[in-house]
A and B are shown apart, each in its own frame.
Chain A
Amino acid sequence: MAHSGISVLFEGTNFARLMGGLWTSVWIALVSLAIGLLLGTLFGLLRTLRSRLIRFVLLLYLEFFRIVPTVVLLFLVYYILPRQFNINMPATWMAVLAFSLWVAAEFSDIVRGALESVPKHQRESGQALGLNQWQLFRYVLLPQAIQLELPATINLATRVIKTTSLLLMISVMDVINVGQQIIEANNQTHPTGIFWVYGLIFILYFIVDYPLSLWAKHLTAKQKD
């Protein structure tokens, strides 16, 4: 007899598997953000320096990651790197690599913009006190830039979390991939399973992303007054 409805979510270990998939998605997003934000800070700083060559190379880097769709990036690291360069790592780490480089590119632009919008007088009064370039960056410019860039950074984080839904393209067992398997395995017994599984996934993504989005909105509003 065909079951229908919500029970598909609780058959066997289905719910635990979905949660495991969600954890994979969130984990990849978090690790990529951690690496990407560090790397992006460095790139952003370098892009405020005088060297034209460095700025040009980093601009190319940014534009590459901005223009190439994320799916293509994932395919690049998943298919091209192992085949052409003999780099073999589990798909999750390949995903972390692609996402980190993407986050670094996007974040470098946020950091550059924030550093440049710290008033020129702040830089000068730091210089006048004898701070060197690094001290000026570390104690004066970066702390102020972080405040300016926080809303944009949170928005980037929500985009990264959403974009993990593409991980199924390179066979990572993320929440979408697990959901798809559950739908297919229970197709006969739970014909409406697709509705419930994707419904749950919708809610899960919402629960993860919405607080971030609210936080960003709150910060933006606070900066305005």
Chain B
Amino acid sequence: MAEEILKVEHLNKFYGDWQALHDINFDLQKGEVVTLLGPSGSGKSTLIRTLNGLEPFKDGNIYFKGEKVEPTPKEWQKLRQQIGMVFQSYDLFPNLTVLDNILLAPTKVQKRDREEVKKEAMALLERVDLADQANSYPRQLSGGQKQRIAIVRALAMHPELMLFDEVTASLDPEMVRGVLEIIKELADRDHMTMIIVTHEMNFAAQIADRVLFLEDGKLLEDTPGKQFFEHPQTARAAEFLSSMEF
């Protein structure tokens, strides 16, 4: 049986009186790719940010590799070393070169040997066709390049799970493909366990082992990928799919 990476039980989240997430339940097995779909404001980003502690949750449980997460800052800081996250706005550190952006967390947080990590970082940069930019500063790069480096930066930590929060949403159309191909390759070649929030329906249809469909903070569907796109179970999901042009 596959190893369980993540399990979410009865997760509720409030902003003041307003409930952002309603009783969310799902699990994630090692090597699985799950896309999180839904209209804007449905709680996709909130949910994915809750999974690495950037958003606190009110009640419910999160289990990471079978162990219950105690939602304290210290515990999250430890877990985040195994959960990589890439954001919409890339958020490379502008004060560091590309290479130093990648080396920072592995050398300072994981205390790994700089030379060893550097070798690995260069190999990863090679893989995303950016080895020649190792000594550039983020401001010298295009959005698509920055995002590929943000992915490499997260991968250099050897994460067990990768979270992608609308990583192509602020890219120019011609940059989108390069980034999506990298994610696709992570799934096919590395069998990386991933949760992906995206509005790229073609991409989601290609990559998703499973789709979680969210609306108004409620998880309406947890359906195998192919089935979701061909025969969504709920009328809302069908409506959502037909409203997206792809």
Contacts and interface: CB of A to CB of B under 8 A. Distances in A.
Contacts of A144: 93-95
B225 to A, nearest CB: 26
Contacts of B77: 127, 130-132
Given A124-B54, A135-B108, A139-B104, A129 B157 contact: yes
A153 B92 CA distance: 26
A17 B78 CA distance: 61
Interface in B6-62: 52-54
Interface string A130-142: 1111010001100
A133 B154 CA distance: 18
B93 A128 contact: no
A121 B54 CA distance: 11
Given A121-B91, A140-B93, A128 B109 contact: no
Interface string B100-116: 00001100111000000
A121 B91 CA distance: 6
Contacts of B199: none
A119 B93 CA distance: 11
Nearest to A124: B54
What does DSSP make chain B's interface, helix, strand, loop or mixed?
loop
B151 to A, nearest CB: 12
Interface in A52-90: none
Interface residues of B, number: 28
Contacts of A143: 95-96
Nearest to B78: A130
A147 interface: yes
B109 A129 contact: yes
A7 to B, nearest CB: 54
A117 interface: no
A206 to B, nearest CB: 34
B105 A129 contact: yes
A199 to B, nearest CB: 45
A22 B170 CA distance: 56
* Interface band, chain A: 10 to 19
Given A124-B87, A125-B87, A131 B95 contact: no
Contacts of A132: 77, 109
A139 B95 CA distance: 9
B98 interface: no
Nearest to B106: A129
Interface string B72-99: 0100011011011101010111111000
A152 to B, nearest CB: 18
B153 interface: yes
A130 B112 CA distance: 14
A124 B52 CA distance: 11
Contacts of A131: 77, 104-105, 108-109
Interface string A174-208: 00000000000000000000000000000000000
A147 B109 CA distance: 25
A119 B53 CA distance: 19
Contacts of B87: 121, 124-125, 128
Interface string B107-147: 01110000000000000000000000000000000000000
14 contacts: A124-B54, A125-B85, A125-B92, A128-B87, A128-B154, A129-B104, A130-B78, A130-B110, A130-B157, A132-B77, A139-B104, A143-B95, A144-B94, A147-B95
Given A121-B91, A125-B93, A140-B95, 11 more contacts: A124-B91, A127-B53, A127-B80, A128-B52, A128-B85, A129-B84, A130-B80, A130-B105, A131-B77, A132-B109, A140-B93
Minimum-distance CB pairs A-B, first 5: A125-B91, A130-B81, A129-B105, A128-B85, A143-B95
